[in-house]
Amino acid sequence: MKVFLYPNLSKPHSRQCTDEACTILASEKAEILMEDQYSGLIGNKHEVCFSSLTDCVRRCDVIVVTGGDGTILRCSAEASKFDKPILGVNCGTLGFMTSLECGEIRRLSELFKGEYTISERMMLSVTVRYSDGKVLSADALNDAVLAHGEATKIADFEVSKSGITVSELRADGIIFSTPTGASAYSLSAGGAIIEPDIQCIEFSQVCAHSLFSRPIVFTPDSELSVRCNCSQDGYAVLSVDGAILARVTNGDVVEIKRSELKTRLIDLTGGSFFTSINRKLMKPLKQ
């Protein structure tokens, strides 16, 4: 088995977890692949093949991420293009998409016994069509967020579905999320928790200037578009999975729909999504 080890060494315990992962993978006779940037940072006690990100993803059978949800988001963009499954080991804070905690790294050997399930997660296709004809696109596992820029204190957004206006609102920003991303920024903005295996698109508002702003859940085949009306010299910022993709201003259109790509997440523990929600988002009841 060829395993692409994708760490985030800025996370606490990630270096130790990555070293332990190397030891376990080597004991299972796996071929370990890593990006070139780690060639001088990872010890030489195990044989590791270093290459570019794209080459590692293309050649591997499975990706093991030692980091957090943000690390999985960065990895998913490339992994989904090659349909490679991801096993997450949480070295971050919440780790909703990870299967193991760093203290459970020994269970990594179960991967070689086939003792796991795979969850296919819906992604969003996000396209910016500029007024000058330029087109920019990306795919999101979590969400696409439009928020006012520095020169615009608040923006007006017009959201449409198949050419029909759904909402006209003034707000700090708006969020389009997948079910996977519903437990992230959308949840903080008042959106609903959605089981990640459901197919849908959730629309939430950030600090809307309205008494009746509510999240909306669209069918997965919905084709949505957004126009921003900003003040002179103002703009909105479009972020995809937390990374800034573009500036959007008057005359530009942002389109959101279900992506043809999917992210495949490996689960070794068989844990329930709601068990994770209860453990990581809700305080235990006082006895």
Active site residues: 69
Task: Tell me the C-alpha distance between 257 and 237, whole Å.
Answer: 19
- At a CB cut-off of 8 Å and minimum separation 6, what does 145 contact? 173, 174, 175, 176, 185, 206, 238, 239, 240
127 forms bridges with which residues in the sheet? 137, 255
Give CA angle at 78 (24, 44), nearest 5°.
35
Structure tokens at 79: 């992994």
The beta strands (E) that lie in 68-163 are given as 86-90, 100-101, 117-129, 135-140, 143-148, 155-161
Spatial separation of the C-alpha atoms in residues 231 and 152, rounded to whole Å: 7
Q: Most distant CA pair in the chain: distance in Å?
A: 62
Residue with tokens 């596992």: 141
Instruction: Please give the distance of CA 209 from its chain centroid, rounded to a whole number.
Output: 28
Q: Is 179 left (phi over 0), alpha (psi -120 to 50) or beta?
A: alpha
Structure tokens at 117: 């399930």
